[in-house]
Amino acid sequence: MNKSPQTLLKEVFGYDEFRPFQEEIINRTLEGKDSFVLMPTGGGKSMCFQIPALCLEGITIVVSPLISLMKDQVQALKSNGIKADFFNSSISLQEENEVIDKAMKGEIQLLYLSPEKLISESNSWLKELNIKLVAIDEAHCVSMWGHDFRPEYTQLKVFRNSLPEVPFMALTATADKSARQDIEQQLGLKESKLFISSFDRKNLSIEVRGQVPKKKKLQEISKFVEGKRGESGIVYCLSRKNTEEVAQYLSEEGHSVEFYHAGMNPEDRERVQTEFINDDTKIIVATIAFGMGIDKSNVRWVIHYNLPKNLEGYYQEIGRAGRDGLPSETRLYYNMRDFVLYSQFADDGANSSMQKEKLNRMLQFAEAKSCRRKILLSYFGEHLTQNCGNCDVCENPPKDFDGTILAQKALSGIARMGEKEGITILINVLRGSNNAEVHEKNFAQLKTYGVGKDISFFDWRDYIIQLANQGLIEIMYSENSALKISTLGKKVLKGEKKIKLTYPVTVKERKTKKPKAVRMVDEGEVNEDLFKELKKLRYSISREENVPAYIIFNDKSLKSMAIDLPVTENQFLAISGVGMNKMQEYGEEFMEVIRKFKSVAKPKKIPTTLETFALYKEGLSPQEISEKRELQITTVFSHLSQLYSEGKEVELEKFVDSKVVDNVRVAFNDLNREISLKPIFEQLKEEVSYGEIRLSLALILKNE
């Protein structure tokens, strides 16, 4: 293990800080232990296995069912200077042999395989590889309780058992409690630790519109898209016919749009997806088959033309928007016809009762009268204490009341029935129903029988769903949708905590008002003209290299450039998402564009280097500045080097040994005095850090 995860994060990927749990997961993996990673779409799952892959001497196997996503991720890794490749049904026999040859020679650090290929090759050349880590992406596919069950995934346990000493990592963005338990068992994870990252994507606004007639829906979507010209977006539809109709309507309105569904031939599907990924087509109208295999970071909006069939799928689909962290919008349309159609589909499929329960939960979300983000997060086991303020319900809050006693009646009923029954029988007991099942199970003898007879069946159903949405109860789909009381629910039942419920209202009673867009913290003042020019340059380079534009730099990195205006190597490396390889490949071209705009662009209120200088003048050490500003120490050294070069009173000599400076000077001269960190780093056999090289160069150049 040559470099620390922290060093790799900055030098390879260009980020100063790990996201929550990433560092802990990485360290656990390097200790040889199994992990189960549950993180939202765009939450940073890939980094959890990519960084260990660079630390370990050997090959990391990544299993993924998403063929186009493999290509995407491998391109992104290669753009950061990482040796990666993929092996799936999309490559020729000759390409297969080339990948096998490179893998056998130890020339690949990360190898992505489809589960089918892994299974078919597990007893041949794969056995010869020095495998140090196996990551199972989209791990929910192994569970019959997951929303995208794939039988071939169930054979992965055999592969796991063939590598008893190798750490395995299961990763997914969508798995309820039932699916989580099943995934661990099916994959044969050993003493794994579950890491659940926050599913709260604050940058996504959530809006739901119900019972909108088709003609009006198309008009509303067209108007919405008109305000987003030039931005990428996805419209998800229930049927192939819908995708073609909506795409035609938007095309006639003058939008850059294509449809995508499984009925198209593979060549057309590939073309449409590639054009969208490459920003040649701005809007895709698709069935839910689309989007699973893309890592496009600049999708600014997602619309559901129909009701999704479950909350897992819905959450994953809206998660296609705003993966770069910038504000993005989501809108869901639904009507009862969607619900009926999906119910019919469920009748004909496997796990019919479970699928219908999940569909019911999806409808309950659509009809909800409380903060929608709270409901979504609660479904994944996370509970917000405050309303989000960025959904349509928060914008138009319904009337609430103290629902503690009502909740206690329902919770008491659940407890007295042994937490083994579902919603319908609970309501029948609370309402004192003469239902045959109630009497067969002797529930009419319970103290809670009839305590809620003054409330209608549908209102009780509404209240119980509110309890589930607030995290007081859980619906266990693996146990015939039995209701279980959570820790929070027990506190309410004992009278230790009070809760609010909202009065049931019809959808028509609710006003429709667009949720406000969130302005991201530290968004700064972007020079929009410069941002557009940087996007043009990015597009031009992406065409030359035949890779998606966002693989060069994502929108967030470009916006940071248009705020901070970096024109030196040190400044450019301080931009989030800029690692050493990208600095070497693209830095000069982008800085040249920035220099042309420098005189007219408005800088950030206080340059970040001056904030560092102010703390330095107060007497803080680089380490203290790093902690106070929540920056990496290498970034602080970068700032101090730049300040020193600009003539500010900074004593750089205190932070770097004179022998190191001498060694850097020799390497610098040997390399024809080219001011480039990576060649010097390699010339010094990677024994001197980039931070020390920056400091040394600043001293060398200033004192000549």
pLDDT one-digit tens code per residue, 297-313: 889 999 999 999 889 88
> What single DSSP character describes residue 445?
G
User: Are residues 577 and 553 in contact, defined by beta-carbon separation less than 8 angstroms?
Assistant: yes
Residue 437 and residue 378 share a domain: no
Residue-wise pLDDT for 252-269, tens only, equals: 999 999 999 988 988 898
Same domain as 191, residue 239: no
Q: Residue 357: which of 272, 478, 457, 257 has the closest Cα?
A: 478
| Reported pTM | 0.64
Q: Which of 254-263, 499-508, 595-604, 684-693 has the highest mean pLDDT?
A: 254-263
Residue 508 lies inside a defined structural domain of this protein: no
Answer with the one of 138, 162, 196 that is the final residue of a domain: 196
pLDDT at 450: 94
Q: Which two tokens stand for residue 250?
A: 């938007």
Residue 479 within any structural domain of the chain: yes
pLDDT in tens, 658-682: 888 888 888 888 887 777 777 888 8
Query: Per the domain annotation, does 521 fall within a domain?
Result: no
Query: Where is the domain boundary, 362, 395, 428?
Result: 395
Residue 150 lies in a domain: yes
Q: What are the start-end ranges of the E strands in 232-289?
A: 232-236, 257-260, 283-286
DSSP 391: B
For the CA atoms of 473, 479, 480, 483, the dihedral, rounded to the nearest 10 degrees, stands at: -20
Tell me the per-residue pLDDT of 109-139, one tens digit each, with 9 for 90 and over: 999 999 999 988 988 999 999 999 999 998 8
Give CA separation, 86 vs 3, 45, 64, 76, 489, in Å. Answer: 25, 18, 10, 12, 47
Phi-psi category of 14—alpha, beta or left, where left has phi over 0 and alpha has psi -120 to 50? Answer: left
pLDDT of residue 558 exceeding 50, the answer is: yes
pLDDT score of 150? 74
Which among 273, 274, 276 has a CA at the least distance from the CA of 256? 276
In the chain, the amino acid numbered 308 is P
Tokens of 651: 């004593």
pLDDT of residue 520: 38
Q: For residue 465, what pLDDT is reported? A: 81
Flag whether 520 is in a domain.
Answer: no
Do 16 and 139 fall within a single domain? Answer: yes
Q: How far is CA 617 from the centre of its chain?
A: 40
- Write down the pLDDT at residue 33: 95
The span from the CA of 664 to the CA of 400, in Å, is 68
CATH, residue 486:
1.10.10.10
Distances (CA, A) of 438 to 357, 411, 496: 21, 17, 30
pLDDT for the residue 519 = 40
Report the C-alpha gap between 67 and 49 in whole angstroms. 18
Per-residue pLDDT at 292: 52
pLDDT of 207 reads: 96
What is the structure's pLDDT at 669? 83
Q: How far apart are CA 249 and CA 239, in angstroms?
A: 16
Q: What is the pLDDT of residues 36-79, one digit of tens each?
A: 999 887 778 899 999 999 999 999 999 988 777 788 889 889 99
Predicted confidence band of residue 451 (pLDDT cuts 50, 70, 90): very high
End-to-end CA distance of the chain: 38
- 1 pLDDT higher than 60: no
Average pLDDT, the chain: 86
Domain with residue 313: its CATH number is 3.40.50.300
Residue 603 has pLDDT above 60, yes or no: no
> Is residue 23's pLDDT more than 90?
yes
Q: Mean pLDDT across the stretch 138-159? A: 78
In a domain, 515, yes or no: no
Predicted pLDDT at 510: 45
Boundary of a domain, candidates 130, 163, 196: 196
Burial (Cβ within 10 Å: 0-12, 13-18, ≥19) of residue 201: buried
Q: DSSP class of residue 684? A: T
The pLDDT, as a whole number, for residue 704 is 62
φ/ψ region of 96 (left if φ > 0, alpha if ψ in -120 to 50, else beta) reads alpha
pLDDT at 245: 96
Largest Cα separation within the chain, whole Å, is 96
Domain shared by 220 and 153, yes or no: no
Give CA–CA dist 93/471, Å, rounded: 52
153 and 42 inside one domain: yes
Q: How far apart are CA 677 and CA 666, in angstroms?
A: 14
Euclidean distance between CA atoms 44 and 58, whole angstroms: 23
Q: Which residue has the tokens 């090759």?
A: 121
The closest alpha carbon to 121, from 149, 74, 94, 155, belongs to 155
**Where is pLDDT greater, at 175 or 519?**
175
CA distances from 158 to 248, 435, 638 (A): 48, 48, 49
Please check whether residues 104 and 237 belong to one and the same domain. Answer: no
Q: How many CA atoms lie within 13 A of 264 on its CB side?
A: 21
Question: What pLDDT sits at residue 444?
Answer: 92
Structural domain containing residue 660: 528-702
Q: What is the CATH number of the domain that holds 686?
A: 1.10.150.80
Q: Identify the pLDDT of residue 508.
A: 47
Residue 413 lies in a domain: yes
Which residues, 6+ apart, have CB-to-CB distance to 125 below 8 Å? 100, 103, 104
Confidence of residue 506 (pLDDT cuts 50, 70, 90): low
Task: Give the whole-angstrom CA distance, residue 504 versus residue 306.
Answer: 23
The domain tally of the chain equals 4
- pLDDT by residue (tens digit) across 273-290? 888 988 889 999 998 766
**Whether residue 343 sits in one domain with residue 231:** yes
Are the C-beta atoms of residues 572 and 676 closer than 8 Å to each other? no
- pLDDT for the residue 505: 59
Backbone angles phi and psi of 112, in degrees to 5: -90, 130
Residues 535, 594, single domain; the answer is yes
